[in-house]
Amino acid sequence: EAGVVQSPRYKIIEKKQPVAFWCNPISGHNTLYWYLQNLGQGPELLIRYENEEAVDDSQLPKDRFSAERLKGVDSTLKIQPAELGDSAVYLCASSLDRDGEQFFGPGTRLTVL
Amino acid sequence: DAKTTQPPSMDCAEGRAANLPCNHSTISGNEYVYWYRQIHSQGPQYIIHGLKNNETNEMASLIITEDRKSSTLILPHATLRDTAVYYCIVRSSSNDYKLSFGAGTTVTVRA
């Protein structure tokens, strides 16, 4: 069974540029999460989707970050414009439902110059 | 949410058991103890979880004290591939089953 797929794996951009990350969850998983992981720290939740509905986006910096999960399957996370402090690993995870085991993708490592 | 406390790092000899402690003294009755690990350059991986009773699966064993204020994750025969950051997390319906990762314990298995 395929796991959570994320692309790209690495991205280097200059500050003020836009960037987008893509996630394909495990088939049949209704719940999808985006996490941010800074160097040396544990992941922090940015947003959680139940199907296509964002049910917890309290930690998403809405001035520059946006996310969508059209049709309740794939999801994209966008940053516009990127700042130096956005350099981090962006992880996507999915689970059957909100209390299920979360399966994580490999993450996208973003470097903002 | 109940908070967890873990040692920042520990070493373990290959082939020996690795015992990873976690303190969660403010845990409430409906909160589960979860363990995840994160190998370098990979996403976190689920290991095991429990409520009151000890649990065992193919990866590890989880020992929860009777008062539930602490637990120990046991890797019975550590290998070099077990080198990772291990996260102990308390999870429940009261916080919408969120996984709140702390800094974890960096476990280094040495040959």
Taking only the tens of pLDDT, chain B with its 111 residues reads 568 999 999 999 999 999 999 999 999 888 999 999 999 999 999 999 999 989 999 999 999 999 999 999 999 999 999 999 999 999 988 778 889 999 999 999 999
- Give the pLDDT confidence score for residue A25 in this predicted structure: 97
Q: Taking CB atoms and an 8 Å limit, are A93 and B42 in contact across chains? A: no
- Residue A71's pLDDT is 87
Residue B104 to residue A42, Cβ atoms within 8 A: yes
Interface test with B, best of A5, A38, A102 (most B CBs within 10 A): A102
The per-residue pLDDT for B98 is 86
Contact A74, A23 (CB under 8 A): yes
Residue of A nearest to B99 (CA): A45
B67–A contact, CB cutoff 8 A: no
Pairs of CB atoms within 8 A across A/B: 43
pLDDT for the residue numbered B77: 95
Cα(A113)–Cα(B103) distance, integer angstroms: 26
State residue A70's pLDDT score: 84
The alpha carbon of residue A12 is apart from the nearest alpha carbon of chain B, in Å, by: 17
Determine the pLDDT at residue B38: 98
Backbone angles phi, psi at A43, to 5 degrees: -65, 150
Mind listing the pLDDT tens digit for each residue in A47-75? 999 999 999 999 999 999 999 998 889 99
Cis peptide before A106 (omega within 30 of 0): no
Query: Tokens 């070493």 map to which residue?
Result: B11
Is A104 an interface residue toward B (CB < 8 Å)?
yes
Give the residue ranges of chain A where pLDDT is below 70: 1
- B39 near A CB under 8 A: no
At B97 the pLDDT is: 85
| Chosen from B101, B105, B106 to mutate, greatest number of chain A CBs within 10 A | B101
pLDDT of residue B106: 97
Side chain identity at residue A39, one-letter code: L
pLDDT of residue B108: 98
